[in-house]
């Protein structure tokens, strides 16, 4: 490191929780190691950054050009250039030893500015497919770290290390919870993203209420994240069959809910897959069909390949088929336990530490 300079890392992260949450875990670790942290994002990203452990946060202009609507490109270019200009000024003023990119188009200005100012770059990609912004800067990065062993779209000759995805401390605290007893109730946890998912709210209740045998239904407890506009429909489906159900648009105690689940049915966002693995629970994963580069299917394969999960594509998401799969899994409790163990064994629980170790090595070069 350059003598006399503060140990400062600037984090560049996009405007969703999927990018900001792992960035926050990394920031916490770097601060514990004596580093100062700055955050560059955009207006959306700052909304997810409440309590972010940064000495300063900067909101810069950013945009994602839509080349299918060419008339929007000039305006997007102006925003991007303004964002880069502001990021260059910040880098000149603060003299960071490192810029760490966590993906999303709001990360572009800071990474572009770092490249111009010859500040070392590292990248963390949460998904199993390199995102567009990370893809653009991967060949210039000193290190490309990833959440999964598989990383599609990685440029040739890039330095790649699969460290895993940083997982929230309350989730890790549940890692030692044993798999729940299968002697009594069997709990299914159903999630569909931060505000639920319409197709999940439409299909899964029908699969359970109409295509799971009554003796098994009588043993079920369903905990389901449901959109407000679907609440009455889902509630009626379970009430009709007298299935115990706990429904809400959002669960603040998700670590506890995950721990008590015998089976999880969920989307396969990077954070969700990593948290299921960390706690060690069997799952049925339903990738979001419109996800860029089909990255949610690639994420799901991390658990499917080790025998911990089933993947059901939206194109095959029929109540009868899903009900049969749920029944088959819950009726074989030995298999459930084996799948739970396989999930737990696959988890990379030291992701935050390993990423910080690599960041410090890069900064010392």
pLDDT digits (tens, 9 = 90+) for 294-347: 999 999 999 999 999 999 999 999 999 999 999 999 999 999 999 999 999 999
Q: CA dist 123 to 89, 251, 349, 364, Å?
A: 21, 31, 19, 17
Query: Is the per-residue pLDDT at 2 higher than 70?
Result: no
235 or 19: which leads in pLDDT: 235
pLDDT digits (tens, 9 = 90+) for 9-54: 999 998 777 888 899 999 999 999 999 999 999 887 777 778 899 9
The pTM of the full predicted model, rounded to 2 decimals, is: 0.92
Query: Is the per-residue pLDDT at 154 higher than 80?
Result: yes
Are the CB atoms for 263 and 326 separated by under 8 Å? Answer: yes
pLDDT attached to residue 292: 87
Structural domains of the chain sorted by starting position, each given as residue range(s) with its CATH number in brackets: 8-166+349-364 (3.40.50.2000), 172-346 (3.40.50.2000)
β-pair partners for 40: 12, 58
φ and ψ at residue 223, rounded to 5 degrees: -115, 115
Q: Work out the pLDDT band at 64, boundaries 50, 70, 90.
A: confident
Average pLDDT over residues 238-266: 96
Query: Is the per-residue pLDDT at 162 higher than 80?
Result: yes
Query: Is the per-residue pLDDT at 195 higher than 70?
Result: no
Query: Is the per-residue pLDDT at 145 higher than 60?
Result: yes
Query: Is the per-residue pLDDT at 94 higher than 90?
Result: yes
pLDDT attached to residue 196: 54
Are the CB atoms for 24 and 169 separated by under 8 Å? Answer: no
pLDDT digits (tens, 9 = 90+) for 207-228: 999 999 999 999 999 999 999 8
pLDDT attached to residue 303: 98
φ and ψ at residue 67, rounded to 5 degrees: -75, -10
pLDDT digits (tens, 9 = 90+) for 74-86: 777 888 889 999 9
Six token digits for residue 344:
């737990």
Please state, in angstroms and rounded to a whole number, the distance separating the CA atoms of residues 217 and 253.
Answer: 25
Query: Is the per-residue pLDDT at 193 higher than 60?
Result: no
Please state, in angstroms and rounded to a whole number, the distance separating the CA atoms of residues 171 and 281.
Answer: 12
pLDDT attached to residue 45: 75
């Amino acid at each position: 490191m350059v003598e006399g300079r503060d140990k400062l890392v600037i984090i560049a992260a996009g405007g969703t929780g999927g990018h900001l949450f792992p960035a926050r875990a990394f920031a916490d670790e770097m601060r514990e190691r004596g580093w100062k942290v700055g955050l560059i994002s955009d207006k959306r990203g700052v909304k997810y950054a409440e309590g972010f452990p940064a000495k300063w946060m900067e909101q810069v202009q950013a945009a994602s050009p839509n080349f299918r609507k060419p008339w929007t490109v000039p305006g997007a270019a102006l925003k991007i250039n303004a964002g880069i200009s502001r990021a260059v000024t910040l880098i000149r003023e603060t003299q960071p030893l490192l810029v760490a990119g966590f993906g999303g188009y709001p990360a572009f200005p800071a990474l572009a500015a770092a490249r111009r100012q010859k500040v070392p770059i590292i990248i963390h990609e949460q998904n199993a497919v390199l995102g567009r912004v990370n893809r653009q800067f991967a060949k210039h990065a000193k290190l490309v770290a990833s959440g999964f062993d598989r990383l599609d779209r990685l440029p040739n000759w890039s330095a790649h290390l699969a460290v895993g995805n940083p997982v929230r401390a309350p989730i890790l605290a549940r890692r030692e919870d044993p798999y729940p007893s299968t002697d009594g109730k069997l709990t299914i946890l159903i999630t569909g993203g931060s505000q639920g998912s319409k197709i999940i709210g439409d299909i899964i209740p029908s699969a359970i209420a109409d295509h799971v045998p009554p003796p098994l239904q009588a043993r079920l407890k369903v905990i389901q994240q449901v959109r407000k506009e679907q609440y009455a429909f889902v509630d009626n489906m379970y009430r009709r069959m007298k299935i115990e159900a706990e429904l809400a648009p959002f669960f603040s105690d998700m670590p506890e809910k995950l721990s008590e689940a015998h089976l999880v049915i969920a989307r396969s966002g990077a954070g969700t897959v990593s948290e299921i693995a960390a706690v060690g629970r069997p799952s049925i994963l339903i990738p979001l069909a419109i996800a860029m580069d089909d990255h949610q299917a690639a994420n799901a394969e991390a658990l499917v390949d080790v025998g911990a999960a089933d993947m059901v594509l939206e194109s095959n998401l029929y109540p009868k088929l899903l009900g049969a799969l749920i029944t088959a899994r819950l009726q074989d409790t030995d298999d459930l336990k084996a799948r739970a163990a396989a999930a737990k064994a696959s988890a990379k629980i030291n992701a935050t530490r390993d990423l910080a170790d690599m960041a410090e090595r890069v900064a010392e070069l």
